[in-house]
Amino acid sequence: MKTYPRANPGDQPPLVYPPYASNIRRAPAMPPIPLEHTLSELTGPLYGHNPIGETDNDLTRQHTADPIGERIVVAGRVMDEDGRPIPHTLVEIWQANAAGRYRHAVDNHPAPLDPNFTGAGRTVTDQNGDYRFLTIKPGAYPWRNHPNAWRPAHIHFSLFGPCFVTRLITQMYFPNDPLFPYDPISLAIPDERARQRLVSQFDLDLTEPEWALGFRFDIVLRGRDATPFEGQS
Ligand SMILES: [Fe+2]
């Protein structure tokens, strides 16, 4: 019978990490009780089962004009613990605009909204497990977790896998971000090498001449090289 390698201790964040203040109230105070999966959880349609639209993976072409900011390509491969590609899996992203503002009702950070940028995209991995987005580099934003708290620039990722209960959520960061060492969300991952697996790499091969810088972000779903995910411990 196949066995899956376990994540190394310290590679995944704990459910409660007090320096990340808002997760204290969100995290379970009691040990989780395993529940059987329901049939609908295993076989029901996934969110996003509608056909992928032409501009769903190009966040710079979802409105009538170009959004403000630095165009970037974000691409990579989704793999299992043995490095085998995961084809045909839905990858969704959401992010702030170049000024660090989300198009969201509760974001009142006094930075401008961009009428030409929604900040949400989705795509499906191809037969090689590869995905690709064109988007705008997000700005850092303040978040009141502690005095003078700023999130490093990041893009939220969701990977659905074959059914609703296999969904995984994480965040991608950018190389050499001065805010990364101060961020309680990424610091919740105890192991430094595991934290670095959330940092994308600048990639000249992904970079498009005269158009956009390229950043590679490969995602490993489990095992010793697994990408750290939220709420998995
Ligand atoms: Fe965010």
List pLDDT tens digits, range 39-73: 888 887 765 557 889 999 999 999 999 999 999 99
Output the pTM of the full model.
Answer: 0.92
> How many angstroms separate the alpha carbon of residue 232 from the centre of ligand 1?
18
The pLDDT score that the predictor gives to residue 3 is 65
Q: Where are the beta strands (DSSP E) in the chain?
A: 71-79, 90-94, 120-124, 130-136, 141-142, 150-151, 154-159, 168-173, 201-202, 213-216, 219-220
pLDDT digits (tens, 9 = 90+) for 80-129: 988 999 999 999 999 999 999 999 999 989 999 999 999 999 999 999 99
In the three-class reduction of DSSP (H, G, I as helix; E, B as strand; rest coil), residue 194 is classed as helix
Q: Is 154 a catalytic residue?
A: yes
Q: Enumerate the H helices of the chain as residue ranges.
A: 23-26, 39-43, 184-187, 192-196
The pLDDT score that the predictor gives to residue 1 is 60
Q: Is 37 a catalytic residue?
A: no
**33-61 in b/e burial notation, b at 16+ Cβ within 10 A?**
eeeeeeeeeeeeeeeeeeeeeeebbebbe
In the three-class reduction of DSSP (H, G, I as helix; E, B as strand; rest coil), residue 145 is classed as coil
Q: Is 102 a catalytic residue?
A: yes
The pLDDT score that the predictor gives to residue 74 is 98
Is the pLDDT reported for residue 148 higher than 90?
Answer: yes
Q: Enumerate the H helices of 143-183 as residue ranges.
A: none
Q: Is 141 a catalytic residue?
A: yes
CA dihedral for 137, 213, 133, 175, sign (positive or negative) = negative
For 169, half-sphere exposure in the C-beta direction (CA atoms, 13 angstrom radius) is 7
The pLDDT score that the predictor gives to residue 233 is 57
Catalytic residue among 17, 77, 101, 102: 102
Neighbours of 101 (CB within 10 A): 21
Catalytic residue among 77, 101, 151, 222: 151
Residue with tokens 């430094």: 192
Q: What residues form DSSP beta bridges with 169? A: 158
**CB 67 within 8 Å of CB 134:** no
Q: What is the helix, strand, coil percentage profile of the chain, to 5?
A: 10, 25, 65
223 or 193: whose pLDDT is higher? 193
pLDDT digits (tens, 9 = 90+) for 153-210: 999 999 988 777 788 999 999 999 999 999 999 999 999 999 999 999 999 999 999 9
Catalytic residue among 77, 122, 154, 197: 154
Catalytic residue among 131, 141, 197, 222: 141
For the chain, what percent of residues have pLDDT higher than 90? 68
Q: Is 17 a catalytic residue?
A: no
- Cα–Cα distance measured from residue 186 to residue 163, given in angstroms and rounded to the nearest whole number: 27
> How many angstroms separate the alpha carbon of residue 156 from the centre of ligand 1?
6
